[in-house]
Structure 1
Amino acid sequence: MSSGSGFADLLRDAALRVTRPRIAVLEAVHLHPHADTETLFTAVRTDLPDVSRQAVYDVLNALTAVGLVRRIQPSGSVARYESRVGDNHHHVVCRSCGVIADIDCAVGEAPCLTPSDAEGRLDGYVLDEAEVIYWGLCPDCSTSITSGSRP
């Protein structure tokens, strides 16, 4: 998705009012997968120099609430946002530099993992998503370590 009108259509389809900050934030999330709020704020300010930090936070919350963006927060990391939603994919995080990449679902369809209860219920919960985070070293950090330098 790369056009303002496409983002406007997404907002309308989600029953959200179309505003310049909403379009700008949605575009920033699409252009910067797994970005933190500071990165997104900086990207939005490029097109909308007067937008406030609070406005960006509010838009991210609204977009997350309607499922247009997904908020992830790996352990020890700040919240990050992505536009890849609805497919129950997972993530791999580099322990050294913190880069995050998508990993397709490990097994089957959402919630992708089967709990010990064969019906997919756990104490009355109806499960619809499983979140798996793989940890390791990205190719760049792995190469740095094997070549003797620190990442």
Structure 2
Amino acid sequence: MSPTVPATERTAHEARWSALLRAHGRRVTRQRLAVLDAVEPTPPAVAEAVAAGVRAELPGITVQSVYVVLSDLTESGLLRRIEVPRNPARYETRVADNHHHAVCTSCGRIEDVDCAVGHAPCLTPSDTHGMTIQIADMLYQGICADCRAASGAAPETNPTASNNPTQKDGV
């Protein structure tokens, strides 16, 4: 977390992360706190950006150590890893809901898309194969409004966009 953040906010932030780490059976370490602080303000964050943020607080940490912490925090449920085709994995702290993502295939921008229907999971599979489905992970792909404007292309008409307030930029 940036040194410009007021001490009271910094302490509250650290206390919240510490409590979550303990609740997930993890020891509270400076590395874990620094990684969580680096991921939270810029989701979804790539590992290299997280490493740069962590180095502001812990200059000696290696990129490999950041990857190990990211993996551990993902495994424990404190982070969510987002896999986007032809892009590096990204991480976010928004894990307590069943939201999805829209990615611009031109610039790579990723936006959260809240669940489109009632409760988790949002999608009902045609066959569960005997599984109890807990999460539906959906990736919408399209061209964002900024990239469409930059290319001079007219906005695409999407008949479901006007009926679905959770869609962003027509994707």
Secondary structure, in 3 states, of the residue corresponding to 2:78?
Answer: coil
Query: 1:32·1:40 contact (CA, 8 Å) conserved in 2?
Result: no
Q: Does 1:145 align with 2:135?
A: no
State the aligned residue count: 143
Letter in 2 for 1:36: V
Secondary structure, in 3 states, of the residue corresponding to 2:40?
Answer: helix
Distance in 2 of aligned mates of 1:10 and 1:124: 32
Q: Report how far residue 132 of structure 1 moved.
A: 1.0
Q: Does 1:107 align with 2:117?
A: yes
Secondary structure, in 3 states, of the residue corresponding to 1:126?
Answer: coil
Deviations 1:76-120 (A, max 9, x none): 221100111121100000111101000001212111111124xxx
TM-score for both structures, normalised by structure 2 = 0.78
Letter in 2 for 1:47: E
Residue of structure 2 equivalent to 1:71: 81
Q: Report how far residue 23 of structure 1 moved.
A: 0.1
Q: Report how far residue 124 of structure 1 moved.
A: 2.5
Q: Percent identity?
A: 49
Distance in 2 of aligned mates of 1:45 and 1:137: 34
Query: 1:34·1:80 contact (CA, 8 Å) conserved in 2?
Result: yes
TM-score for both structures, normalised by structure 1 = 0.88
Question: Gapped runs of 5+ residues in structure 1?
Answer: none
Secondary structure, in 3 states, of the residue corresponding to 1:143?
Answer: helix
| Aligned with 1:25 (options 35, 38, 42) | 35
Letter in 2 for 1:128: Q
Question: Quick check: which one's strand share is greater?
Answer: 1
Q: Does 1:125 align with 2:121?
A: no
- Runs ≥4 residues deviating over 3 A: none
Residue of structure 2 equivalent to 1:135: 141
Letter in 2 for 1:85: V
Distance in 2 of aligned mates of 1:100 and 1:32: 11
